[in-house]
């Protein structure tokens, strides 16, 4: 999992998320706009686009190990 996160935070992964975000926004808001799934897809694309710009990956949230409470 750490290898995938490292790749997604690299230059190629960031560019891929930005391009995927633009494509999802296009299809979600312009092709399937009247349907609820079109808006959901468009919002997912907006999130992918901005996360690609910021260099953060959502997988980091799920891959981090929870800290044990202090005894």
Looking at residue 63, its pLDDT comes to: 74
Per-residue pLDDT of the chain (71 residues; tens, 9 = 90+): 778 778 888 889 889 989 999 999 998 888 877 888 888 888 999 998 998 888 877 777 777 666 666 66
pTM higher than the cut 0.85: no
- Tokens standing for 50? 């901005």
Q: CA 58, CA 6: separation in Å to the nearest integer?
A: 12
Query: For the chain, what is the largest distance between any 2 Cα atoms, rounded to a whole number of angstroms?
Result: 55
Return the number of other C-beta atoms located less than 10 Å from residue 11's C-beta: 9
CA distance to 8, 24, 32, per residue, from 27 (Å): 23, 5, 6
Q: What does the alpha-carbon distance between residue 18 and residue 41 come to, in Å, rounded to a whole number?
A: 14
């Amino acid at each position: 999992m750490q290898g995938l996160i490292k790749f997604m935070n690299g230059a190629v992964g960031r560019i891929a998320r930005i391009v995927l975000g633009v494509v999802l926004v296009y299809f979600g808001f312009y092709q399937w706009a009247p349907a609820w799934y079109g808006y959901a897809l468009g919002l997912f694309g907006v999130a992918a686009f901005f996360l690609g710009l910021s260099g953060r990956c959502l997988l980091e949230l799920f891959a981090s190990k929870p800290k044990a409470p202090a005894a």
